[in-house]
Amino acid sequence: MNQLMIRDVRILDPVNEVDRIGTLWIREGRIAEAFEPDGDTVVIDGAGLTAAPGLIDLHVHLRDPGQTEKEDILSGCRAAAAGGVTQLLAMPNTRPAVDTPETVRYILEKAKNADARVHVVGAITKGLGGHEATDIGALYEAGIAALSDDGVPVLDTSIMVAAMQKAAEAEMDIPVTAHCEDPYLAGGKVNEGAVSRSLGVKGMPCAAEDAGTARELALAESYHLPIHICHVSTATSAAMIRAAKQRGVRVTAETAPHYLMLTEQELLRRDADFRMNPPLRTETDRLAMIEALRDGTIDAIATDHAPHTPQEKADFVHAPNGSIGMETSFAAAYTVLVEGNILTEGELIRKMSVHPARILRTYGGTLAVGTPADVMLYRKEAWTVDPQKLHGKSRNTPFKGLTLAAKVKMTIYGGRIVFDEWR
């Protein structure tokens, strides 16, 4: 399939200030000028649909290698496509961790046949242990696109600084993403407070995240280096990031749809699908995340897509943290932010495509002629999340049973239709 013609579609490209009804042309994998359709042209009726740049998810766990019963590269990318995600950043907490060039090459090779582009995050420390640095140069030569120790902080601060300095070098120029947490305060099952006390389980205080955020901001400011803060969930962390930006610190940040829509009250169900790290927080924190997106403190929305098997999630107290999110991310964010009159649709696309592209130093975020044809087609449509109808291997979604206000209907990656709800 070399040519696509999407007619009578609303074309939404916030970068180029385009919002109009027209025809979107795709040829040889790129957005094209108008051409004469022939027998090989696939014609799509776009009436009632919006065509927007494909989403870019900055925080995804594909579980491959090592835990492919939960997810693998191909199944994860199928889930991505069903949610309008055409590029994703794969975290390094696989088994083995992504701390050698061989593991990087394995992921990139397998991803060649996937339904989305996989960018690989290399580990900062060996085995994500926090103490022994990896060979960042070798990982970069193998193809990594970012650095992180993912779900744990880099314990040795000098190693973290060295990684930030190496990543910022002109010949490399890749982001460092930080899971902000003080490990001596962390370790709880849910947010520390009234709900944790009601459940009788150990809580994780906001201070654990806030202390970690403060450290990374201090490093970025003191050494004049960029840092990307992952999955912000507390009002205090958002306030610190806002103040740091005002001082000129080179910081970007993301939050996740579940922190925009849900609170710790969900945990009273004793359902481990609502347990993640950072945990769901209070209504005050939820509103702070929304405000931080509105005022630009938080640059991006990412999912922290973390698949687990039903057996693992069956025990509320002992289940691993994490929830899936790529198939519901746009719909959930649209429901809260667009339907709630917080952001326009164009502003939401900036948070989920334009800004992630800039943070990751990749293409995307636009439908300009000549750019790769990564396109999401969606419409305003009420639908209820049924975990059994999702496209990945795992079902641990915190949005199960919720009615969302927008639906991805088709996804095009590199000019190829990779998801079509009508098929």
Where residue 7 sits, what CATH number does that domain have? 2.30.40.10
Q: Do residues 273 and 233 both lie within one domain?
A: yes
29 lies in a domain?
Answer: yes
pLDDT of res. 214: 98
Q: Do residues 178 and 268 both lie within one domain?
A: yes
Burial of 421 (0-12, 13-18, 19+ CB in 10 A): exposed
In this structure, what CATH number is given to the domain that contains residue 158?
A: 3.20.20.140
Q: Say which residues have a Cβ less than 8 Å from residue 95's Cβ, sequence separation at least 6.
A: 65, 66, 67
Q: Do residues 220 and 282 both lie within one domain?
A: yes
Query: Do the Cβ atoms of 151 and 175 come closer than 8 Å?
Result: no
pLDDT, tens digit (0-9, with 9 covering 90-100), for 247-272: 999 999 999 999 999 999 999 999 99
The letter for the amino acid at 89 is L
Q: Do residues 141 and 281 both lie within one domain?
A: yes
Closest CA to 97 of 19, 152, 47, 50: 152
Q: Do residues 147 and 8 both lie within one domain?
A: no
Q: Do residues 93 and 120 both lie within one domain?
A: yes
Q: Which of 72, 285, 304, 374 is catalytic?
A: 304
Q: Do residues 40 and 175 both lie within one domain?
A: no
Concerning whether 173 is annotated as a catalytic residue, the answer is no
Q: Do residues 71 and 153 both lie within one domain?
A: yes
**Strand (E) positions, 102-231?**
117-122, 146-147, 177-178, 190-191, 203-204, 227-229
Q: Do residues 222 and 98 both lie within one domain?
A: yes
366 lies in a domain?
Answer: no
220 lies in a domain?
Answer: yes
Q: Do residues 218 and 82 both lie within one domain?
A: yes
Dihedral pair phi/psi, residue 230, rounded to 5°: -80, 155
Percent above pLDDT 90 for the chain: 99
Last-in-domain residue among 331, 360, 389: 360
Cα dist from 391 to 81, 98, 211, whole Å: 9, 25, 37
333 lies in a domain?
Answer: yes
pLDDT of res. 80: 98
276 lies in a domain?
Answer: yes
Question: Which domain, by its residues, includes 27?
Answer: 3-50+372-420
Half-sphere exposure of 179 (CA within 13 A, CB side): 25
Q: Do residues 134 and 179 both lie within one domain?
A: yes
Q: Say which residues have a Cβ less than 8 Å from residue 121's Cβ, sequence separation at least 6.
A: 89, 90, 91, 92, 98, 144, 145, 146, 147, 148, 150, 177
pLDDT of res. 1: 57
365 lies in a domain?
Answer: no
351 lies in a domain?
Answer: yes
Number of domains the chain contains: 2
367 lies in a domain?
Answer: no
Q: Do residues 352 and 406 both lie within one domain?
A: no
Q: Which residues of 361-373 are buried (b: 16+ CB within 10 A; e: fewer)?
A: ebebbbbeeebbb
pLDDT of res. 423: 80
- Distance, in Å, from the CA atom of 294 to the CA atom of 337, rounded to the nearest integer, reads 9
Low-confidence ranges of the chain (pLDDT < 50): none
